Amino acid sequence: MKRNEIYKLIQEYLKDPPVIIWGSGATIACGLPSMNDLNNMLKAKFSFFDKDSTNLENELGKTKYEPHISEIRKCIWECIAEKDVSFLNNILEKSDTYIGVKKLIEKFTEPHPNILNIITTNYDRVLENTMALNNISYTDGFSGRLLSVFDETLFSEKKKSPFVKLIKVHGSLNWFYINGETRYFHGNNNFDPKIIPPGKNKFQEAFAEPYRTLIQNSDEIIKNSRSLLVVGFGFNDEHLTPQITTKIKKRLPYSYLDKAIN
**Residue 6 is assigned to a structural domain of this protein:** no
- Residue 199: its pLDDT value, please? 76
Which ranges constitute the DSSP H helices of the chain?
3-13, 35-45, 56-59, 69-93, 99-109, 126-133, 201-205, 211-223, 241-249
pLDDT score, position 1: 55
pLDDT of residue 5: 64
Can you give the pLDDT at residue 6?
53
What domain range is 214 assigned to? 15-256
> Is 108 a member of any domain?
yes
Q: What is the pLDDT of residue 12?
A: 61
- Say whether 66 sits in a helix, a strand or coil: helix
Residue 105 lies in a domain: yes
Point out the residues of the chain with pLDDT beneath 50: none
pLDDT at 219: 94
User: Does residue 96 form part of some domain?
Assistant: yes
SS3 state of residue 212: helix
Bridge partner list, 22: 120, 231
Model confidence, pTM = 0.89
State how many domains the chain has.
Answer: 1
What integer pLDDT is reported at residue 148 of this predicted model? 84
